[in-house]
Amino acid sequence: MAPKKYALAGTGSRAEMYVDALLGPHADLGSLVAFVDTNEHRMSYHDARIAARRPDAQPTRHYSPERLGEMFDVERPDALIVTTPDYTHAHYVTAALDRGVDVICEKPMTTSVQGIADIVRSARRVKEQSGANLVVTFNYRYSPRNSVLKDIIQSGKIGKVTSVHFEWCLDTVHGADYFRRWHRNKANSGGLLVHKSTHHFDLVNWWLGDVPETVYAQGGLRFYGAQNAAERGLGERPELSRDNPNRNDPFNLDLEADPKLRGLYLEAEADDGYLRDRDVFTEGIDIEDNLSLVVGYRGGASMAYTLVAHSPWEGYRVAFNGTEGRVEIEVVERGSVSPDKHTLDPSVAEDSERPDENVRPEGQRIILQRLWEPAHEVPIPEGTGGHGGGDAMLLSDVFRGPASDPLSRQAGYIDGIRSVLVGVGANESLRTGQAVRLADFGVPLDDA
């Protein structure tokens, strides 16, 4: 396989996964020739990381978003990796596809119906002309536990699925962080229903091998934000964590103390004014932190879905009921958070000073129970790295190409559409109070 030239748009923290892949396990397959970002400092931050690991590497040239067309003309990349803020994804995806350039896009593929329509036009055009490919990186599909669950359902061990219960808990480390960043505004992220939950909606679409058709939602901002803080008597809040006189506040984020956050954001503020440590209890948040949905599928199954962004533990529970049994998965990614260990580092788990009293240890298990039979636990292969080993497997598919896969884990633009539309439809349902038919948005749910 001839080495490829990659350009990367968006040099925030998510870009690191792709930069490291091209410096490490996939270095033989290509190199980064260009960064595109609004922030010169962040691009230089990644330059320094590359130079430290590969002193012989050719410089990665820098372009502002306004010079995107010039970047394509001068660098002639084979593929564009998109890790920019969600609302800009469609712009970068269509710009690349229209030039016959492959795209690797972080989820969500886009945040709006217009964005979907634009991507569909470009994707269909290149399918007929250049054959450029669009991959949406749903890494949770690749997690060994989720793959085991897919195999159980696909093999028919519980018969035809009739209903799904899905509960996702974001704790006061991970969940809170969405209310500090650009994600706190729905115009940027589509809210958690699009930015975060598209991960979950895609999992269910893929697990079922089915197409979502209707959605009804309820929810609101019930924990974070200024009004909720006032109602709970939290007192006056600073605009930024750095200005909070209470240095022990568990909702503070200390950018100075974390080398990555300091380099990517605190030291980069002068370039574009982006503030990474907004207080989670201030004005200006317009996304929800509690959400409940009912989703109907073409094949007849329905899903009850909930998300909470201020849980004391992090993880998820999913149960599938079928005509021949039931399968359940429970994953505890972080069992608890103590105030003195509040950090964005996912490796910091529950307070382990009293392990004998830890009734919610980190772990995962799948329980399968067919009708008329006792339940039994299904073994899960060990995975290493991010997302239970999913990141490494996804990156292999992205850079080396998918091998024969009976589980069909690599996701394309139709998968991206289906997941985004559930979130967009749920946002519309929140606005109107009515159930929403996804077909009414006028964009395809199936590949033409």
Tell whether 144 and 245 lie within a shared domain. no
In a domain, 36, yes or no: no
Domain range for 232: 226-272
* The pairing of beta strand 314-322 with beta strand 161-171: antiparallel
In a domain, 85, yes or no: no
d(CA 87, CA 90) in angstroms, rounded, equals 7
In a domain, 92, yes or no: no
Tell whether 246 and 192 lie within a shared domain. no
d(CA 229, CA 236) in angstroms, rounded, equals 9
Tell whether 189 and 166 lie within a shared domain. yes
Tell whether 219 and 230 lie within a shared domain. no
Which of 206, 241, 272 is the last residue in one of the domains? Answer: 272
Nearest Cα residue to 7 out of 86, 97, 72? 72
Q: Where are the beta strands (DSSP E) in 18-87?
A: 30-36, 61-63, 79-82
Q: Per-residue pLDDT for the chain (448 aa), expressed as one digit of tens each?
A: 678 999 999 999 999 999 999 998 888 888 999 999 999 999 999 999 999 998 888 889 999 999 999 999 999 999 999 999 999 999 999 999 999 999 999 999 999 999 999 999 999 888 777 678 999 988 889 999 999 999 999 999 999 999 999 999 999 999 999 999 999 999 999 999 999 999 999 999 999 999 999 999 999 999 999 999 999 999 899 999 999 999 889 999 999 999 999 999 999 999 999 999 999 999 999 999 999 999 999 999 999 999 999 999 999 999 999 999 999 999 999 999 887 755 565 444 444 445 556 789 999 999 999 999 999 999 999 866 666 667 788 888 888 877 788 999 999 899 999 999 999 999 999 999 999 999 999 999 998 6
d(CA 435, CA 213) in angstroms, rounded, equals 11
Tell whether 265 and 177 lie within a shared domain. no
d(CA 135, CA 398) in angstroms, rounded, equals 8
pLDDT computed for residue 324 by the predictor: 98
pLDDT computed for residue 342 by the predictor: 53
Q: Which two structure tokens, joined as six digits, stand for 146? A: 């989720």
Inter-CA distances, 232 with 39, 228, 235, 339, Å? 38, 6, 8, 18
Tell whether 230 and 376 lie within a shared domain. no
Tell whether 251 and 292 lie within a shared domain. no
Nearest Cα residue to 79 out of 43, 30, 120, 129? 30
List Cβ neighbours of 267 (8 Å cut-off, separation of 6 or more): 41
Which of 250, 272, 294 is the last residue in one of the domains? Answer: 272
Q: Buried (b) or exposed (e) across 320-342, using 16+ Cβ within 10 A?
A: bbbeebbbbbbbbbbbbbeeeeb
pLDDT computed for residue 353 by the predictor: 47
Q: What is the DSSP letter of 19?
A: H
Q: Which two structure tokens, joined as six digits, stand for 34? A: 């260009």
* This prediction's pTM: 0.93
Nearest Cα residue to 379 out of 363, 365, 362? 365
Tell whether 236 and 315 lie within a shared domain. no
In a domain, 427, yes or no: yes
**Cα 298 from chain centre:** 25
In a domain, 70, yes or no: no
Q: Where are the beta strands (DSSP E) in 64-191?
A: 79-82, 102-106, 134-137, 161-171
In a domain, 368, yes or no: yes
Tell whether 293 and 197 lie within a shared domain. yes
Beta-bridge partners for 376: 368
In a domain, 252, yes or no: yes
Q: How many domains does the chain have?
A: 2
In a domain, 426, yes or no: yes
Q: 300 exposed, middle or buried (CB, 10 Å; 0-12, 13-18, 19+)? A: exposed
Tell whether 411 and 436 lie within a shared domain. yes
pLDDT computed for residue 348 by the predictor: 47
Tell whether 159 and 306 lie within a shared domain. yes
Tell whether 242 and 216 lie within a shared domain. no
d(CA 182, CA 14) in angstroms, rounded, equals 14
Q: Which two structure tokens, joined as six digits, stand for 175? A: 């969940």
Which of 272, 307, 329 is the last residue in one of the domains? Answer: 272
**CATH (domain of 437):** 3.30.360.10
List Cβ neighbours of 433 (8 Å cut-off, separation of 6 or more): none
Nearest Cα residue to 288 out of 165, 197, 163, 421? 197
